[in-house]
Structure 1
Amino acid sequence: MAPQRTHSLLLLLLLTLLGLGLVQPSYGQDHMYQRFLRQHVDPDVSTGSDGYCNLMMQRRKMTLHQCKRFNTFIHESIWNIRSICSTANILCKNGKMNCHEGVMKVTDCKETGNSKAPNCRYRAKASTRRVVIACEGNPEVPVHFDR
């Protein structure tokens, strides 16, 4: 009787965590969410410089084999970013209707065009602007920076 009760309690705990959104149900979705975090989220900084872009693009492994031409870092808490997913759906660049928009503090890093991996060089542009993010899952989490 004890193993059945333990099993029932574990199942109840898992369902509770799923309901609260603390456990992601899909490996694919979780992988995309983790990639989004690595490539686009830096809440510890309020604005970025050229040196910031050069360092972060390398640290976040976006310069290993070739220089990523453009990347945006969002300087907000993950909870503020995730809240965008609860806004109205809008059309993404790829034609899907799973994008959402909000205003965030960001640093856009643009490759200078004359550097070679892994020593890529970037120009930074810090601003507060409208961003568009694709969200998926239940609960919805950001999985792609659209624009």
Structure 2
Amino acid sequence: MQQPQPSILTAPLLERVAARAGSCPLLLFLLLGLWVAEVPVRAKPSNVTQAQWFEIQHVQPRPQRCNMAMGKVNKYTRHCKPFNTFLHQSFPSVAATCQTRSIACKKGQRNCHQSKEPVSLSTCELTSKKYPGCKYKEKRQVASYIVACDPPEKGDSRKFKLVPVHLDKIL
């Protein structure tokens, strides 16, 4: 993965600090902290729940072209997401997957659930990362999936005992 470049404002500052840092580990640690602060945050926007963010990123009942669909995802984070998968199902259909038996997730949690059958989906892979004009290569397929599910948060529909919050794996 390509390392992000420091912004125009911080690049000269980082160069000056690095020159003065010499072999001082604390100063180098602080320098690293400044550089990391430049990396865009890919976390969930604060004004949506985990399930709402899952729906924005991964639920698309009627397939759209990746460039258009990803534009809607990227506007929340204001950067080009490198890779994304859209499930061509309704949110209630994906939420029904949360009622299947629990299995282990990739990172070991036990709140994952596998779809009962394969579904139509699209994967979008970033080819040009100039936000807001991000461009994507699209691949359509039919596959089963695994989602992580949690109880609904305040602001989520109470129709579901569990709601999808993370697309863990495409099988």
C-alpha contact 1:58 1:64 (8 A) present in aligned 2? no
1:140 pairs, out of 138, 162, 166, with 162
Q: How many angstroms apart in 1 are the aligned matches of 2:138 and 2:75?
A: 15
Q: How many angstroms apart in 2 are the aligned matches of 1:67 and 1:94?
A: 25
Which residue of 2 is the match for residue 109 of structure 1? 124
Q: How many angstroms apart in 2 are the aligned matches of 1:63 and 1:32?
A: 14
Aligned-residue sequence identity (percent) comes to 35
Q: What is the identity, as a one-letter code, of the residue corresponding to 1:39?
A: Q
- Judge which range, 103-112 or 61-70, deviates more: 61-70
Query: CA offsets per residue over residues 37-62 of structure 1, 9 Å max, x none?
Result: 111111123xx5xxx10111112335
Which structure's residues are more often helix, by fraction? 1
Which residue of 1 is the match for residue 39 of structure 2? none
Q: How many angstroms apart in 1 are the aligned matches of 2:78 and 2:150?
A: 29
The alpha-carbon distance between structure 1 residues 93 and 123, as it changes in their structure 2 partners (threshold 3 A), is same
| Aligned-pair CA distance for 1:121 | 0.9
Q: What is the identity, as a one-letter code, of the residue corresponding to 1:76?
A: Q
Query: CA offsets per residue over residues 83-130 of structure 1, 9 Å max, x none?
Result: 111112111122101011112211010112x43222111111111101
| Aligned-pair CA distance for 1:77 | 1.8
Q: How many angstroms apart in 1 are the aligned matches of 2:89 and 2:77?
A: 26
User: Looking at CA atoms only, which structure, 1 or 2, has the larger radius of gyration?
Assistant: 2
2:55 pairs, out of 37, 46, 49, with 37
Q: How many angstroms apart in 2 are the aligned matches of 1:98 and 1:122?
A: 31
3-state SS of paired residue (1:118)? coil
Q: How many angstroms apart in 2 are the aligned matches of 1:100 and 1:62?
A: 29
Which residue of 2 is the match for residue 55 of structure 1? 68
Which residue of 2 is the match for residue 127 of structure 1? 141
Alignment of 1:5-20 (within 5 A): none
C-alpha contact 1:57 1:63 (8 A) present in aligned 2? no
Q: How many angstroms apart in 2 are the aligned matches of 1:80 and 1:92?
A: 20
Q: How many angstroms apart in 1 are the aligned matches of 2:142 and 2:162?
A: 24
C-alpha contact 2:97 2:114 (8 A) present in aligned 1? yes
Any gaps of 5 or more consecutive residues in structure 1? 1-27
Tell me, yes or no, if structure 1 residue 89 matches structure 2 residue 102: yes
Q: Supply the RMSD in Å over aligned alpha carbons.
A: 2.1
Q: What is the identity, as a one-letter code, of the residue corresponding to 1:92?
A: C
Q: What is the identity, as a one-letter code, of the residue corresponding to 2:67?
A: N
Matched residues, number: 113
3-state SS of paired residue (2:56)? helix
Which residue of 1 is the match for residue 79 of structure 2? 66
Which residue of 2 is the match for residue 5 of structure 1? none
